[in-house]
A = this chain, B = another copy of it.
């Protein structure tokens, strides 16, 4: 069965990417892009933007790479070790090699008192500092005394890396699906979405026809999207719809975060799909915090890019901690997420507009074999869907409008429209 294969393949990709120490620049991102590419039917277009390049209001920072990091006690034993978890180092820490007392070290140590067994994930991209993250229990157990600390990292001129896959469609207008690839060993955030996006790209590449052009962007958060925007100004006006994909592997209900405009096609497509899925799913309004939808929706671009997530950033306890591990995501949940994204894409693909060619009264569906024969009390959904499509196909309404108003699943409306079109009752506009 397809779903099982899909789930296994997505989960395996997460397992493969989990150990890599990613950041907003560096070899971890390059390695990640290379492994994503192996899952795709076509090469990723890779971009390498040199440090110091001005991108919109920002500048591409120096590239960060790390080889080792540890804290050793007086006996020389490593009490904190980067090789046990790459979360142990504050991401983008400057190199350090020093001996200091616990008191001096303490301001550089981050832990979670409320979750004493979890390692927090911290970053310091734009302030030059260094630090370690560790379990509260580890921290509490450190005896006074001197410690040796080492962060064997380099922060040097290099590049910012991102990758893209573009699947051309009948229209040059684009659907953009964007995932951040800058987080280290965190599974839900955001290996889950990398896996879902990769699976969807595979699927769409295999389709005989695509109405829209699909662009998958795998880029570091914020600076990656900003670099992409700076280098693809010509593409932005062609963005018809888009989503950032985040945290799609956990068991939480789905949340779709609207574009700033709130009522664009992607907003309505996503809301429709969630409406018919689970009452716990929700649609929330845009706010200028979260993921790269912030950049796409900024005043200079106003691209209609929403965000699809399950766990919401900052709203599940495992967020940005070592508890966001391989056990926190599952093939089943990835398959559900893939299905939701696919359904949203299918609305965009299928949202056509027709004109009813027999607009005066209701056409006689029975004589065309499209209506149950014996009058009773109820009406099957497909028949009702046909009546809705006929009623609203006046040039002003597309199938998405009709599915919203009919409160019927989009797929039912689409099949109804296909039947009516095949019977010569509809012409596409």
Contact = CB atoms under 8 A, between A and B. Distances in A.
Contacts of A222: 362
A314 B123 CA distance: 60
Contacts of A392: 299
A361 B225 contact: yes
A361 B123 contact: no
A299 B391 contact: yes
A200 to B, nearest CB: 26
B360 A314 contact: no
Q: Which of A230, A294, A364 has the most CB of B within 10 A?
A: A364
A62 interface: no
A251 to B, nearest CB: 20
A373 B127 contact: yes
A387 B289 contact: yes
Contact of A362 (B90, B294, B359, B388): B294
A288 B356 CA distance: 14
A315 B85 CA distance: 62
Interface stretch (A164-172, A191-199, A344-352, A375-383): A375-383
Contacts of A289: 379, 384, 387
A57 B295 contact: no
B295 A361 contact: yes
B299 A393 contact: yes
Contacts of A294: 362, 387, 391
A374 B127 contact: yes
B125 A375 contact: yes
Contacts of A225: 361
A359 B391 contact: no
A122 B375 contact: yes
Contact of A366 (B127, B230, B320): B127
B56 A361 contact: yes
Contacts of A302: 394
Interface residues of A, number: 60
A314 B366 contact: no
A328 interface: no
A378 B359 CA distance: 55
A404 B359 CA distance: 34
A333 to B, nearest CB: 22
A327 to B, nearest CB: 21
Contacts of A229: 360-361
Contacts of A301: 360-361
A390 interface: yes
A358 interface: yes
A260 interface: yes
A393 B299 CA distance: 8
Given A229-B360, A300-B361, 11 more contacts: A56-B360, A56-B363, A122-B374, A124-B374, A126-B367, A129-B373, A295-B362, A298-B360, A298-B361, A301-B360, A313-B377
Top-4 shortest CB links A-B: A300-B360, A300-B359, A127-B373, A299-B359
Interface of A: 56-58, 90, 122-127, 129, 222, 225-226, 229-230, 260, 285, 287-289, 294-295, 297-302, 313-314, 319-320, 356, 358-364, 366-367, 373-379, 384, 387-388, 390-394, 405-406
